[in-house]
Amino acid sequence: LLYAMLAYRIQADAFGDLDAGLVQTLKAAVAPGNSATITMLTDKLDQRNQELLPGAILTREWNGHDHRVMVVAGGFGFEGKTYDSLSKVAFAITGTKWNGPRFFGLRAARQR
């Protein structure tokens, strides 16, 4: 646990810590009986406007395997290669064309 805490602090110092809105949402999430507040706060978060900074790790389980992708300058690192889009990484994992941000849970599916 100590190593995880130290690793988080090093990453937060290097790449930036949680923003104030997310901290508020997390505090509301741990307070008892605040499910309506949590829903209201999370509805305000627009996932499409979140910028991925170099060093961020995206994970996705697919067919029983965990896949980790690192955001790097100019693209995304996966299995020793650099891809210019998440959609290309998703294709490398699945063999099927996907919306990359949606595949990695960064964007919700459109509701019809």
Sequence spans of domains, the chain: 2-45, 57-103
Q: What is the mean pLDDT of residues 61-76?
A: 93
Residue with the two structure tokens 């509301």: 28
- Whether residue 19 has pLDDT greater than 80: yes
Q: Which residues contact 106 (CB under 8 A, 6 or more apart)?
A: 47, 48, 50, 52, 58, 86
Q: What is the mean pLDDT of residues 65-82?
A: 94
> What was the pLDDT predicted at 14?
87
Q: What is the mean pLDDT of residues 84-89?
A: 95
* Phi/psi at 84 (5° precision): -90, -5
First-last CA distance in the chain: 43
**Tokens read off for 58:** 């995206």
pLDDT per position as a tens digit, 88-111: 999 999 999 999 999 998 876 665
The neighbouring-strand residues paired with 67 are: 60
Confidence bin at 44 (pLDDT 50/70/90): low
* Phi/psi at 38 (5° precision): -60, -45
Higher pLDDT, 21 or 60: 60
For 52-104, the DSSP string reads PPTT-EEEEEETTEEEEEEEETTEEEETTEEESSHHHHHHHHHSS---HHHHT
> What was the pLDDT predicted at 112?
55
> What was the pLDDT predicted at 85?
94
